[in-house]
Structure 1
Amino acid sequence: MADKQYIVFKLNGEKFAANINQIASITEFASITSLPNAPAYVEGLLNLRGDIIPVINLKKRFKMAYEGIDNQRILIARKGDIQIGFLVDDASQSMTVGEKNILPPPMIAIRKDNKYISEVAVYQDELIIVVDLERVLTDDEIDEIMDL
């Protein structure tokens, strides 16, 4: 197994990462249109170069406290034919982690509602939770959002 590359992002000052292959692009926070009757974690819709993309607030999805941030970013990911944006506080660096520094997620951390934790990376003496962006939302939740 070779080294893996990740994009590092922050939520309330905590570092997380996502596999670089899951991210189509990173864009600055732009005008998001609210979506009536959407689940609380859906921030709204983003018009990105003519594509209308639902934006998920990862802090709300992960049930984290809200701390205002000025320079938010949106990670654009694909799940099949669907593009989904993930609102994060910052996403400005990439990291390459060797195979020996990639650990399975601790069993205590895996529950039904957070199966999106795919692994833990040890990078510069920090433990960074790696999020599988394809598993943040279930297929049923994606269908619900697309039907709104």
Structure 2
Amino acid sequence: MSSTDLVPSTGAQAVQTLARTDGRQFLTFRIGAEEYGLDILRVQEIRSYEAPTRVANAPAFVKGVVNLRGVIVPILDMRIRLGQASEYNAFTVVIVLNVAGRIVGVVVDSVSDVLELSADEIKPRPEVAAALDARFITGLGKLGERLLILLDIEAMIKSPDFGLVD
């Protein structure tokens, strides 16, 4: 066996690379019993929850602001925004996002993992009434028995409901 037998051909490498990049990657997280996913490219970091500095007259879901390496970051509790109970525990985390030209932190119950979903595994969003406006749902990810609600986090943050972006 020669050393060239151990190296895949250029064509095989291209197919393997294409297979790895064919899907989109999502960070998955939980709010209550539901599992959500958002585009991993929007995620800057994941931090443990620490109580932010309150902002006067802010909506209930705006928990306050934190100083993140010199940048003042608003912290939004997605659980409150979606009408879920908001108990803080050791699993509660803040996902720091870079969306709409802003850095924003969103509080969730826990982060699960990063998944790659192919186009076949993403189904169209349902047209049903829900606590979350359907225009913020890009689709449903189906991975085995798991069903992920895939969010358009940029549209959500830009929404007038959030009041963060002009």
Query: Which string of whole-angstrom CA distances, capped at 9 and with x for unpartnered residues, describes residues 35-94 of structure 1?
Result: 110011101101111211001100111122334432211111122321111001111411
Q: TM-score, normalised by structure 2?
A: 0.77
Query: d(CA) in 2 for partners of 1:11 and 1:105?
Result: 18
Q: In structure 1, what is the equivalent of residue 72 of structure 2? A: 52
**Count of residue pairs the alignment pairs up:** 146
Q: TM-score, normalised by structure 1?
A: 0.85
Give 1:39's aligned amino acid. Answer: P
- The alignment status of 1:107 with 2:127, answered yes or no, reads yes
Structure 2 segments unaligned to the other structure (5+ residues)? 1-20
Give 1:108's aligned amino acid. Answer: V
Q: Which has the higher contact order (CA 8 A, sep 6+)?
A: 1
Indicate which of 2, 19, 38 corresponds to 2:39: 19
- The alignment status of 1:80 with 2:100, answered yes or no, reads yes
> Which is greater in Rg?
2
Query: d(CA) in 1 for partners of 2:78 and 2:132?
Result: 17
Query: d(CA) in 2 for partners of 1:87 and 1:112?
Result: 16
Indicate which of 131, 134, 142 corresponds to 1:122: 142
Structure 1 segments unaligned to the other structure (5+ residues)? none
Compare 73-82 and 53-62 and name the one that shifted more.
73-82
Q: Is the 8 A contact 1:7 1:20 kept in 2?
A: yes
Q: CA deviation at 1:32?
A: 0.8
- Give % identity: 25
Q: Aligned-pair RMSD on alpha carbons?
A: 2.5
Question: Which structure shows the higher strand fraction?
Answer: 1
Query: d(CA) in 2 for partners of 1:71 and 1:83?
Result: 22
